[in-house]
Structure 1
Amino acid sequence: MEAAFSQFYKRTPEQRLAILADTLGLSETEQQELKQRAAQGDAPLLIENYLTTYQLPEGVAVNFRVNDHDYVVPMVTEEPSVIAAASNGAKQLAQAGGITAAVHSRLLTGQVVLSDVKVFASIDDWVALHQDELLDVAKQAHPSIVKRGGGPKSIRTRDLGEGFVSLDLTVDVQAAMGANMMNTMLEAIAEVVQNKLHHTTLFSILSNAGVQSLTTATVSVPVAQLADELADAQQIAKRIAQASRIAQLDPMRAVTHNKGIMNGVDAVVIAMGNDWRAIESAAHAFAVKDNQYRGLSQWQLEGDQLTGTLTLPLPVGTVGGATKVLPLVSINQKLAQISSPEDLMRLIAAVGLAQNFAAIKALVTSGIQKGHMKMQVRSLAMTVGATPSEVPVLTGQLMSLKDPNESQAKQLLIKIRNNEEEKHAKR
């Protein structure tokens, strides 16, 4: 096998497929599936050893009102209920006046880490004395960002213990996500430190913590809006607040609580050509407060209002990287009326809050499974080969069953088709 994969990265996608088919026994049908999904254009250049394009569905969530503006939000996800829940949550929150979202700051931090440091104070003092020099070195490493009004802002030292010291550089990266820009500046600083302090750096790399790119979304929902009867509405509001509190007390619940938020967040981040893994990492790190993992959002009952708040680290960009290589990104930015990273940050936070509201309300009322079930049943209908015109009919019949499975779906589809044939025959 080793010989077959020698210089694999230099092969064309067609050659790679032939090697895989021969080595791993792919059928002709499987090979055709991979060939049909292979993309043209720049996609083969984005990643190493490109073979084909793995497609995810894109839809749009509607009903969003954020900072007194209406939005349509492109979302990329394979989970059936995500866009439906986001749209439903957004509609209810829009009825309450909409979501307010604010960006606290938008800066990126990176690290130059030194090892085998004997006396931290010596490093700390030297950096303090040479701060301007180090910032100038960082500016010279990427002068174009300085011309656009951004660039390095500050540098500090931290004693990590066990002889490790981190030099933390903070940069205004403007509209870019800024990873490459940051790493270039850090390596320039590392070279100066090595030459003047005679300390070998262990590594130089940006941090995805995102604590200096925080965005908060808030909303106040009149309790009376939650149900037709005031007593029922008050009970729902109380239960939502209680469920939110559990996510602050119990890490086991907090994980699922936050996963629901990230269902919406990730889908928007992907649609906008950003690194959803970085956003996930930042969000879950931010969820650890007082040495305990907690829910990222909080819902509180305040008189006749149910108030929701969500703060997220969102180091996203609107230019550079995949945002320029993937053709759909610019279209999605136009659909969502995004013209700056701050616009995108506010919208992502709003989506996370709406997603959370829809999920937590369903959880404490009808149960989360009711909404999920319809979407899952529709997926089941497609799995057994129902055509677009047959899916609604089959879904309706499957919903009447207690626990529909693939065998039942196939039998019902046969009956549906037989009935259609009989109708045509009578005509």
Structure 2
Amino acid sequence: MATNSRIPGLRNHTPSERLARVAAGAGIDRSALDALQPADGLSLAQADHMVENVVGMIGIPVGVATNFRVDGIDRLIPMATEEPSVVAAASNAARMARGHGGFTTSYTGDVMVAQIQMLDAVDPHAARFALFEARDELLALANAQDPVLVSLGGGAFDISARVLPTGAGTQVILHLHVDVRDAMGANAVNTMAEAIAPRVAELTGARTLLRILTNKADLRVTRARAVFDPEMLGGAQVVDDIIAASAFAEADPYRAATHNKGIMNGITAVVLATGNDTRAVESGCHSHAARSGSYTALSHFEKDAEGNLVGTLEVPLAVGLVGGATRAHPTAQASVTLLGVQTARELASVIAAVGLAQNLAACRALAAEGIQRGHMSLHARTIAASAGATVDEVGAVAARIIAERRIRVEDAREVLAELRAESSPA
């Protein structure tokens, strides 16, 4: 059964009812998502095998973004985030993109790069050439470390090398290019780099130091594109204002930092929900934003010939479905099952689409109504809970502090006391 990501009114149900509706929309058995329930998710014993010195766990809410169609396929998307409005904003932007087919993506491939640093080369330029002359030997030695990856069509397939002037002297840097297929790839490329380092030292007469992957995954780039009707965004003026806001972020690194943070609100939430490495993805994306020498926006907005808003996003996404927490963490497994992705490429495409949707939603809010209106409406519920409101009281407290435009914890405590006084027997 194909996924149907259109589930109107999902927010009006209880968490248990939502889970059942999401499972039905994804065409999977409800039990496949049991790990999303706190009692059935990651156990303390499992956590103890994942990292050292375990003393407990911290929970992050997992919401489901609806309405997404990515490359012609509907996806229900788990997002792990503590920030209000993120899931709702992404879902709303995805709804607005559906009229033009949703999100279309492209992908450069599953290539990760390991770096080997060489010091004290007497003739660094000749050392660089010696590495190229031994290319086939080095690739064969690297691939001998992971015959399973090679059997799947992956493995080391090329090298590059450069002479790098540094404050600590001239260094030679070797890059080993590895197709990691559906893995994130860190373990595979690091193992290969360690294995070839002694031979690299022999070939160059240099001392090898660092042998590790780079998180600047610019050979593993995903691009996403979507078209939005002006009417759904709020009119032609809103379109022009979104474009102006986007241009501001492209030209100014101060604005770009916040603009890109909005993109990462979406990207990081899906990366975390699926058990991938949020720090690796974030460092890769932010380094990509500075690839021209100046920090700039990761996205771009413009108008097409019909006056529609066209959004594009390009980000390196080193994510996988094989190994790591994605396999070890039951909640991550449930999230992947819900997504229905089969390859790292599909996962990266979904993540990029969410990043673009989140970015469009934030830019629209800024251009049309100011970011605080929608964000604070959702944030009010968190404030109410922080003030001590019970599950049954949160809605009433939030409604009143929104109406009175007093969305602070101390105001929520005051309102909560008033409501309890009003409801108590005389």
- Fold equivalence (TM over 0.5): yes
Contact 1:118-1:163 at 8 Å conserved across structures = no
Instruction: Tell me the distance in 2 between the aligned counterparts of 1:369 and 1:82.
Output: 13
Q: CA deviation at 1:383?
A: 0.7
Aligned with residue 234 of structure 1, among 233, 236, 240: 236
Pairs within 5 Å for 1:73-88: 73-88=77-92
Equivalence for 1:373: 376
Normalising by structure 1, report the TM-score.
0.86
Amino acid at match of 1:222: D
Equivalence for 1:252: 254
Equivalence for 1:168: 175
Equivalence for 2:265: 263
CA offsets 1:167-221 (integer angstroms, 9 cap, x no match): 1000011111111111110011101122444321011000111101111100122
Equivalence for 1:17: none
Q: CA deviation at 1:43?
A: 0.2
CA offsets 1:125-177 (integer angstroms, 9 cap, x no match): 21121110000000112222111111001011111113111110000111111
Aligned with residue 208 of structure 1, among 215, 218, 222: 215
More divergent stretch after superposition (83-92 vs 309-318): 83-92
More divergent stretch after superposition (394-403 vs 263-272): 394-403
CA offsets 1:336-384 (integer angstroms, 9 cap, x no match): 1111101100000000000000000000110001011112211111011
Aligned with residue 97 of structure 1, among 73, 98, 101: 101
Pairs within 5 Å for 1:19-418: 39-161=43-165, 162-227=169-234, 233-303=235-305, 304-418=307-421
Greater radius of gyration (CA): 1
Amino acid at match of 1:257: H
Equivalence for 1:32: none
Amino acid at match of 2:238: I
Instruction: Tell me the distance in 1 between the aligned counterparts of 2:114 and 2:44.
Output: 36
Q: SS state of the match for residue 141, structure 1?
A: coil
Normalising by structure 2, report the TM-score.
0.87
Instruction: Tell me the distance in 2 between the aligned counterparts of 1:196 and 1:307.
Output: 51
More divergent stretch after superposition (114-123 vs 387-396): 114-123
Amino acid at match of 2:223: T
Contact 2:119-2:172 at 8 Å conserved across structures = yes
Amino acid at match of 2:207: T
Query: CA 1:289–1:125 in structure 2 vs 1: closer, same or farther (change >3 Å)?
Result: closer
Contact 1:38-1:52 at 8 Å conserved across structures = no
Q: CA deviation at 1:38?
A: 9.9
Instruction: Tell me the distance in 2 between the aligned counterparts of 1:106 and 1:83.
Output: 28
Q: SS state of the match for residue 303, structure 2?
A: strand
Instruction: Tell me the distance in 1 between the aligned counterparts of 2:268 and 2:209.
Output: 32
Query: CA 1:138–1:86 in structure 2 vs 1: closer, same or farther (change >3 Å)?
Result: same
Amino acid at match of 2:107: V
Amino acid at match of 1:242: A
More divergent stretch after superposition (130-139 vs 288-297): 288-297
Query: CA 1:333–1:404 in structure 2 vs 1: closer, same or farther (change >3 Å)?
Result: closer
Contact 1:153-1:170 at 8 Å conserved across structures = yes
Amino acid at match of 2:148: S
Contact 1:240-1:360 at 8 Å conserved across structures = yes
Instruction: Tell me the distance in 2 between the aligned counterparts of 1:40 and 1:369.
Output: 38
What number of residue pairs does the alignment pair up?
A: 382
Instruction: Tell me the distance in 2 between the aligned counterparts of 1:42 and 1:311.
Output: 36
Contact 1:38-1:51 at 8 Å conserved across structures = no
Q: CA deviation at 1:54?
A: 1.4
Instruction: Tell me the distance in 2 between the aligned counterparts of 1:39 and 1:289.
Output: 41
State percent identity of aligned pairs: 40
Amino acid at match of 2:50: L
Instruction: Tell me the distance in 2 between the aligned counterparts of 1:360 and 1:340.
Output: 31
